Structure 1
Amino acid sequence: MGRTSGLGDSAIAEAGPRPSADTWLPPTAPKEKTSHHQSNSRFPKQLLASLLILLLLLAISFFIAFIIFFQRWSQLIKEKKNPKEVFHEKLICEKTHLNVEGKSWGCCPENWMISNTSCYFISSEAKTWTESKKNCTGMQALLLVINAKEEQLLIIQKLNRNSAYYVGLSDPEGMHQWQRVDQSPYNRSVTFWHPYEPSNYKEHCVFINFRQGNWGWNDASCDVPQKSICKMMKIYL
């Protein structure tokens, strides 16, 4: 009985003292775990943001493309349209016998004089030569350039003998080097000057008037207000 008790005490001594119930041990820190739910919720947000940015870029690109297309389309429409048709709202048309491809009507603006190929506007308002030139240009026309005797005869039938009318002929340098407003060459064989005209190197512009029983051209001061005649080609429809 005595040996048994001795062995038991020795075993207890070797094992060392047991911790008492009152001894405190720090709790083991739990391992941090990545939440699968949080990961899944973050992914749709990133995807949504990327989609929104993509849609915004597409919208901007579409808007820019639309502006460019609209500008080109507008330019194309303007190029196809005759500017005279845009300016003159009312036209007087007649069947044309000229060989104009795809066109059967020749038109002039309302209140303009009609010839075979041209339209003429006889202004009743007196202006300087420069103002008259601008007035014709504003109507998509030019100051009258007479190209043939038949045209001169046609025009004078509609003119008032008590008035003078500026035409598209001037001498900017004062040397009687006459220039036509349509940039065509000055042709001395197709001129209708009054006798002894042009007569004054200080008079740089030309009007047509009735003198000594005839209509003809006369050089005159460009600053004196006179009536005028505008000319434009027919509009073919």
Structure 2
Amino acid sequence: MASEITYAEVKFKNASPAAVAEAPPETKKHEHHPQKYPLCLPWLISLMLLLVCIALIIALLVAPFSRGSDQPTALQQKFKEWQCNSAGLQGKERGWMCCPSGWKLFQKSCYYLSDDKMSWAESEQNCTGMGSHLVVISSKAEQEFLFEELQRASRGENYYIGLSAQKVGQWHWVDKTPFNETAAFWRTREPSNVDDEKCVVIHTRTHQPNNWNDVKCGNQYRVCEAAAVTV
């Protein structure tokens, strides 16, 4: 007789469920991204350097004639060619004293001796148009300088200076400098002080520094004066 096989399900109370293997959390890779610059940056840097160079060149060209002043003088605006000399500076001053080409330098002023004639009023307008005025003589040294220059290069007999009168004998300088009778350089027996002679000239045929003469205000040569430019 065949025997019967019985199966029984056995449970163990202290058994623990099968351990589940847990994989370690996936670590994130930190990728290094290089910093990106605009492609036009080298061009911008080159442009900035170019602009700086241009600014420096302009400063070097313009600065000498604008030193000590924000705006160029009227004389600087009128003339492009200049002659410079270092002899006019004194003491601790350094640099050059400059006048337009063809003008004469004395101390700190530039002088223009005309080669054409005009009335006194037209002469003053002509000097003003060049950024100057009819010469105002303020010292014996200046008078002697003009005397020598006109003796050497004079084309005419009379040269207007910036002295005139509205009324007979009441002399006034064009730049409002007070007229000092003791510092005047009249010729012998001058001024005439007559009603029709109210303008003053340097008379070049007088061979001595005292050579002022009052004359009618018709056409004569002229001497213009302007401050020299320091560079």
TM above 0.5, yes or no, is yes
Q: Report the Cα distance in structure 1 between the residues aligned to 2:122 and 2:77, rounded to whole angstroms.
A: 23
Residue by residue, what CA displacement relative to the aligned partner does 1:148-178 show, whole Å, maximum 9, x if unpaired?
Answer: 1111111122212851000000001x22110
The code of the aligned residue for 1:165 comes to Y
The code of the aligned residue for 1:82 comes to T
| Structure 2 partner of 1:229 | 223
The code of the aligned residue for 1:204 comes to K
The code of the aligned residue for 1:98 comes to Q
Superposed displacement of residue 211, structure 1: 4.6
Query: Structure 1 residues 136, 212: CA separation in 2 closer, same or farther (over 3 Å shift)?
Result: closer
- Write the mapping of 1:102-141 to structure 2, written as runs, cut at 5 A: 104-141=95-132
* More deviation, 78-87/189-198: 78-87
Which structure is larger by alpha-carbon Rg, 1 or 2?
1
Q: Report the Cα distance in structure 2 between the residues aligned to 1:79 and 1:97, rounded to whole angstroms.
A: 22
RMSD: 2.2
> Is 1:90–2:81 an aligned residue pair?
yes
What residue ranges of structure 1 are gaps of 5+ in the alignment?
1-76
Query: With structure 1 as the length reference, what TM-score do the two structures score?
Result: 0.61
Q: Report the Cα distance in structure 1 between the residues aligned to 2:75 and 2:158, rounded to whole angstroms.
A: 27
Q: Report the Cα distance in structure 2 between the residues aligned to 1:189 and 1:145, rounded to whole angstroms.
A: 15
Q: What's the % identity of the aligned pairs?
A: 35
- 3-state SS of paired residue (1:154): helix
Question: Are 1:111 and 1:121, in contact at CA under 8 Å, matched by a contact in 2?
Answer: yes
Query: With structure 2 as the length reference, what TM-score do the two structures score?
Result: 0.63
Query: Structure 1 residues 135, 236: CA separation in 2 closer, same or farther (over 3 Å shift)?
Result: same
Q: Report the Cα distance in structure 2 between the residues aligned to 1:210 and 1:111, rounded to whole angstroms.
A: 20
Query: Structure 1 residues 236, 212: CA separation in 2 closer, same or farther (over 3 Å shift)?
Result: closer
Q: Given the alignment, which residue of 150, 157, 163 partners 2:157?
A: 163
Q: Given the alignment, which residue of 210, 213, 217 partners 1:218?
A: 213
The code of the aligned residue for 1:85 comes to Q
- Write the mapping of 1:164-203 to structure 2, written as runs, cut at 5 A: 164-172=158-166, 174-202=167-195, 203=197
What residue ranges of structure 2 are gaps of 5+ in the alignment?
1-65
Question: Are 1:161 and 1:209, in contact at CA under 8 Å, matched by a contact in 2?
Answer: no
* More deviation, 204-213/124-133: 204-213
Q: Report the Cα distance in structure 1 between the residues aligned to 2:145 and 2:183, rounded to whole angstroms.
A: 15
- Larger helix percent: 1
Superposed displacement of residue 98, structure 1: 3.2
- Write the mapping of 1:22-101 to structure 2, written as runs, cut at 5 A: 79-95=70-86, 97-98=89-90
